[in-house]
Amino acid sequence: MLIIPILSYISSGWMIGWASAPYNSAWAERYPKRAAVMAMAGPAANFAIALLSWCGLKLGLLAGTFVPGNGWRFSDAVVSVEPGIWAAIASLLSIAFSLNVLLGVFNLLPLPPLDGSALPLFFLHGEIARSYQRFSRSAAPAMLGIFVAWQFFPRIYRPLYAWLESTLRG
């Protein structure tokens, strides 16, 4: 939990880390489609929080309380016109929006150990699904997946985030 964020920052200029939740692999092997739905719950929650935050940011912009922010800092999607509580709300909503877009998109990459690696389970059946699950949980694909993800992710995230930020202004 410490080495990967440090190495990713040194090699690419940004950090990657992860959290873990209790997981019953025997249950997942018995019910691969349910496991895929469960894996999509995290990114779905991220996108729901991002959408709610986007709505709050947009309302603040329409009310004239916020103005578009400058740069790529998570806390500056918008900034408050006035200091005080509205500045804190603008920062909180900006962070919630930016961070949840980042986490949702990143976790949907179809690489082990990310949640997106469960997407094929919607289409695989029987022993093929179980073999895929066993392969996805092994260390080598997980390490390769993390390495590929942190090299490939900025190419997807930056244009997507720039577009999402532009929807606030338009």
* Tens digits of residue pLDDT in 114-170: 899 999 999 999 999 999 998 988 888 888 888 888 888 899 999 999 999 999 987
Which stretch of 21-35, 39-53, 57-71, 118-132 has the lowest confidence by average pLDDT? 21-35
pLDDT at 1 over 60: no
Rounded to two decimals, the pTM is: 0.82
Question: Could you tell me which of 150, 152, 160 has the C-alpha nearest to residue 13?
Answer: 150
pLDDT at 6 over 90: no
Confidence bin at 19 (pLDDT 50/70/90): low
pLDDT at 53 over 90: yes
Q: What is the mean pLDDT of residues 49-55?
A: 96
Calculate the alpha carbon distances from 6 to 15, 18, 27, 34 in Å. Answer: 7, 13, 34, 34
pLDDT at 50 over 60: yes
- Distance between CA 11 and CA 14 in Å, rounded? 8
pLDDT at 7 over 60: yes
Q: What is the pLDDT of residue 143?
A: 87
3-state secondary structure of 138: coil
* Token pair recorded at residue 38: 């469960």
Confidence bin at 9 (pLDDT 50/70/90): low
Domains of the chain, by residue range, sit at 30-169
Question: Could you tell me which of 57, 157, 71, 35 has the C-alpha nearest to residue 106?
Answer: 157
3-state secondary structure of 114: coil
8-22, 61-75, 78-92, 138-152: which is most confident:
78-92
List b or e across 17-30, with b for residues whose CB sees 16 or more CB atoms inside 10 angstroms: eeeeeeeeeeebee
Summary mean pLDDT of the chain: 88
